[in-house]
Amino acid sequence: MYSQVQREQCIACGLCQLRAPELFDYDTEGIAFYRLDHNQGQAPIPAAQLAAFKQAYRACPTGAIKRQNKPFTTKN
Ligand code: F3S
């Protein structure tokens, strides 16, 4: 499973970082990004982090956190 934050949809609510601090972090404006590869969507979510990822994914109020089974090809 791969993840990327659709940054234009992020409203800097902060829930993803609370739920999955290993996976999500913020830039100086509070907009989230996928930590493992600076939001490139190329680094798979570690198995040990999948439960935390699902919590963050469900918690995001805008659906900005994307997931798919192959690496992302577009940058956000
Ligand atoms: Fe943004 Fe959603 Fe996280 S709004 S801060 S990506 S929970």
The strand pairing partners of 16, in sequence order, are none
State the pLDDT confidence band at 76, using cuts at 50, 70 and 90.
Answer: low
**Ligand 1 close to Cβ of residue 18 (< 6 A):** no
Ligand 1 centroid, distance to 64 Cα (angstroms): 6
pLDDT at 74: 72
Q: What is the per-residue pLDDT across 26-41, written as a single tens digit (0 to 9) for each?
A: 999 999 999 999 999 9
Q: Which two tokens stand for residue 76?
A: 């956000």
Which amino acid residue places its CA nearest to atom 3 of ligand 1? 16
ipTM: 0.98
> Percentage of the chain surpassing pLDDT 90?
95
Q: Is the pLDDT of residue 43 over 90?
A: yes
Give the angle 45-22-4 at the CA atoms, nearest 5°: 50
